[in-house]
Every structure is written in C-alpha cells, then in structure tokens.
Structure 1
Amino acid sequence: MTTHDDVRRICSRLPGAVEGVDRFGFSVEVKGKFKGFLWTWAERIDPKKARVVNDSVLAIIVPGLAAKDAINQSDPDKYIIDPHYNGFPAVLVRLDAVDPEELEDLIVEAWRCKAPPALVKQYDTSTQ
C-alpha cells in the first residue's frame, strides 16, 4: 500500500516538483505556468451532483494513449477506468493496490512528460 507521504517522498527528488495547495497533487513549472503531472481523482458518485475528491486514487499523466491502454490492461485491480478520462493520457491508480516502487516509475515518467528539458537533464545527471 502506498500513501500520500510516499508520493511526497518520490516527488521531493524530482527537480521543480511542487505540491498543490487546494488538493493533493504535484506540478512542475514550464515557461511560467504550472503543469500538473499527478493529482487526486475527482469521482462522479451521483450523476446529478459535483464530483467528489477520492484521496485514495491518483490520476497520473502517461506518455500517450497507447501507454495508457497498456497500463490499464496490465492489472485491472490497480487501475480504474473513468469515461471522463477517455482520450486523455492519464491513468487512475488505486494507492492501496500499488507498491511505492511501481508508483515511483509512473510518477517519474509523468514528471518527465511535463518537465522542461533542463530539469529532466538535471534529474538524469543526479541519478547516474
């Protein structure tokens, strides 16, 4: 099981990663704007009411729709399919079903999708 503290620990090693204020998530600054690479899922519980934040599930950016499909099909117990995310390159991960090491791979890849090249190079240099 993975916790928000595990996510914070992982993101603390990613240059430029900033934790959100309004709800749990992380972004990175790109040309003066913050680009989210993971956030808590807002679940549609009642079709006629607003979505409700579900802190036990994270939406995490992936490199593309092919990667999304492959990840979602790899383990249906770990990943949620939400029609709201159709056509959008992000997977929904159940924190209680994924271990921190596996989640770290997803988070680093998500950050790479959004981070500017200079930060990616800085990270790559520090991890060699």
Structure 2
Amino acid sequence: MVTGDEVRAFAATLPRAYEAVVRDRIKFRVGRIVFVALSPDETLMGFAFPREQREALIAAEPAKFLLPEPSDLRFSWMRCRLAALEPDELRELVVEAWRMCVPKKVWTAYLETHPL
C-alpha cells in the first residue's frame, strides 16, 4: 500500500518537478504541465498516461486503475487507487508520467543515474 506522503516524497526528487496546491489538491508539475495529482483525500492519484493505452491498462487491472474524471478525458491522463499500488509500481508510474513532460535530454540524464 502506498500513501500520499510517499508520492510527494518521490515526485519531489525528480529534476524540474515541483509541488503546487491547486483547489485543495496536491499537484506535481514540470513548468506548467501537471504530471501527477492527488485527490483531496489522497486515496487516488492522477498521472500523465497515453490516451491510446488507457483501456488496456484498465482491462488488465480494473481494481487498481480507472478512467479520469469526464472533464479530463481529453487529456493524456489516468487515475489509480493508491492503496492498490506497490512502492515499485508507484515509482514506475510517476517516472513515466514525469518523462512525458520533460525534455529528452533531462530524461536521458536521469536515466543514466537512475536505471529502471
């Protein structure tokens, strides 16, 4: 089981990432782009994810992953239940979401020091 504190602690370590509070929600951004967000009660995490892969992820693990709110369906975004995640899985989801938002040179430099 993963907590909101673990999400915050890990996401804050990523280059160019910073935490912001928007309408009582914790969000992590690179520049102005949000790559991870926590629900107000910190039971759900939204994260950047390719739209074309959403249905497959939900079909594989429907108890863990769910579609974003209807207003967010147009974005490359997914949600998951934090209680259903393992720590390694959380790190993978957060890094992949962050990777969608940073320049390639930042991602490759990170990968050199933090191999997956």
Pick the TM interval, shorter chain. 0.7 to 0.9
| Partners of 2:26 and 2:38 within 8 A in 1 | yes
Residues 1:74 and 2:76 aligned together:
no
Structure-1 separation of matches of 2:108 and 2:11: 16
| Partners of 1:15 and 1:122 within 8 A in 2 | no
How high is the TM-score relative to the length of structure 1? Answer: 0.76
For each residue in 1:4-52, what CA deviation from the matched residue of structure 2 results, as whole angstroms up to 9, or x when unmatched? Answer: 22112321331111111333121112xxxx21101124xxxxxxxxxxx
Structure-1 separation of matches of 2:53 and 2:91: 16
Corresponding position of 2:8: 8
Corresponding position of 2:26: 24
Corresponding position of 1:48: none
CA RMSD between the two structures: 1.8
Give the match's secondary structure for 2:80.
Answer: strand
Give the match's secondary structure for 1:24.
Answer: strand
Gaps of 5+ in 1: 42-52
How high is the TM-score relative to the length of structure 2? Answer: 0.83
Flag the structure with larger Rg: 1
Identity %: 29
| Partners of 1:17 and 1:27 within 8 A in 2 | yes
Structure-2 separation of matches of 1:116 and 1:90: 19
Identify the match of residue 87 of structure 1 among 49, 62, 74: 74
| Partners of 2:12 and 2:19 within 8 A in 1 | no
| Partners of 1:72 and 1:91 within 8 A in 2 | no
